Homo-oligomer: A and B are copies of this chain.
Amino acid sequence: MAEAPSRAQLEVLDEKDPLARFRQRFLIPEGLIYMNGNSLGPLSRDAGDRMERAVHEEWGNELIRGWNSAGWYEIPWRVGDKIGTLIGAARGETVIGDSTSVNLFKAVSAALALRPARNKIVTEAGNFPTDLYILDGIRRFSADGVGIDTRLREALIDAIDENTAVVVLTHVHYLSGEIFPMTELTARAHEAGALMVWDLSHSAGAVDVDLNAAVADFAVGCGYKHLNGGPGAPSFIFAAARHHEQMRQPLSGWFGHARPFEFVDEFVPADGIRRMLCGTIGVLGATALEAGVDLTLEAAGTELAAKTRRLSGIFQALVATQCESFGLELASPRDAAARGAHLSYRHAAGYAVMQNLIDRGVIGDFRAPDYIRFGFSPLFMSYAEIYDAVQILHEILSSASFRRPEYEKIKAVT
């Protein structure tokens, strides 16, 4: 944790920041301090322009011909490969399409089928809920009497045994932001003969990920958070090339077929990662995602993850100095290197605190029962606005009137 800096010091950091030029590429309303890129990334100018073209020139003028002339058909692997370069995948190991939940279903089902003699899935208690819910769906409908062993983080490693088919973990925890050591845990799963599925929803575009260096088997992740792909953007799915030939997944739709436009009755899986596709890609959502990914790629190599850590470290230091005496308790790792791109704090009146922040133009979010979260997005956030956000937080906490009982009721959304 850094020493708490002054605003002037932070302005100097902004002047020297090689990523500062990206701020103007985003259309963030004037005066807003947007600390929720971990939940929904903001609109970029590029995404706005691309959507205008996709709607009017491609759909409007090209109509059905857009599948060829506008390159719609190639979107899943074209955008997949771009994301792949951000997460340490080789070419041909990543595609986009469907939601993160659906892709997790595919990845875990495929991994289970690769370990037919085993029937246990290990995952973390308190993992992002949809991950647990999807595993429950697999358990209920699986052919193999699959069981789910859901453990607290500290007991996870002990649960991985010779009956474990798959370990399913989220790289950056949605609440605490804590990072799992990817290489170490993947190796542990492999030692036991199990496969490893990583959920990168809070990682891609914000923290360092190198799937192939970690020898990961499968991964999925979210397009609408740090990839700035727009509300409900398509998700991505990765499978290591070594599994491609053997892997099968149950959502075998026509876009996962070897020759989808021959319209034959029998399913023949496409070569490689494309067999992880299912139905027709949602072109409009995928177009916005591609714009977001392209913007991140422009900035790649400029230490995105390092700026993320610096932003969150400064916020942490300022809050520690100015706000912790008001009942705010850090719920994330103290070491910036041990966490992803957001910080969570607990506060007895967390919902009211966050509503007051939002009313004052500082957008973070609330997670039941009493967590408030702040995201740190290296592409569009400045160091100085971190300072301003903490000042506003301090003003709210130190005001006698901030507690508004009607806010105590949970009305949160994503």
Contact = CB atoms under 8 A, between A and B. Distances in A.
Given A60-B48, A129-B260, A413-B73, A232 B280 contact: yes
Contact of A262 (B36, B125, B410): B410
17 contacts: A28-B63, A51-B51, A51-B284, A59-B230, A99-B253, A105-B250, A105-B251, A130-B279, A132-B266, A133-B254, A134-B251, A136-B266, A137-B250, A143-B143, A231-B284, A261-B410, A263-B367
Interface of A: 27-29, 32, 34, 36, 39-40, 42-43, 47-48, 51-52, 55-56, 58-61, 63-68, 72-73, 98-102, 105, 109, 113, 125-127, 129-130, 132-134, 136-138, 140-143, 150, 175, 224, 230-235, 248-257, 260-267, 278-286, 288, 358, 363, 365, 367-368, 410, 412-414
A301 to B, nearest CB: 28
Given A137-B252, A138-B250, 19 more contacts: A29-B61, A40-B63, A48-B56, A51-B51, A64-B363, A99-B253, A101-B251, A105-B250, A133-B253, A133-B257, A134-B252, A137-B267, A141-B250, A143-B143, A230-B284, A231-B282, A232-B283, A261-B412, A284-B285
Contacts of A72: 231-232
Contact of A279 (B29, B102, B412): B102
A67 B413 contact: yes
Nearest to A144: B143
Contact of A365 (B64, B113, B232): B64
A284 B288 contact: yes
Given A102-B279, A230-B284, A358-B65, A132 B267 contact: yes
Given A73-B413, A262-B410, A283-B231, A254 B137 contact: no
Contacts of A263: 129, 175, 367-368
Contacts of A67: 231, 413-414
Contacts of A73: 413
B251 A102 contact: yes
A348 to B, nearest CB: 18
Contact of A130 (B133, B136, B254): B254
A172 to B, nearest CB: 16
A255 to B, nearest CB: 8
Given A102-B251, A267-B132, A365-B64, A233 B282 contact: yes
Nearest to A60: B43
Question: Which of A47, A51, A66 has the most chain B CB atoms inside 10 A of its CB?
Answer: A51
A279 B233 CA distance: 11
A142 B140 contact: no
Contacts of A132: 265-267
A249 B137 CA distance: 7
A102 B102 contact: yes
A136 B252 contact: yes
Contacts of A142: 141, 143
A64 B39 contact: yes
Contact of A59 (B60, B137, B231, B249): B231
A150 B264 CA distance: 13
Nearest to A262: B368
A140 B247 CA distance: 13
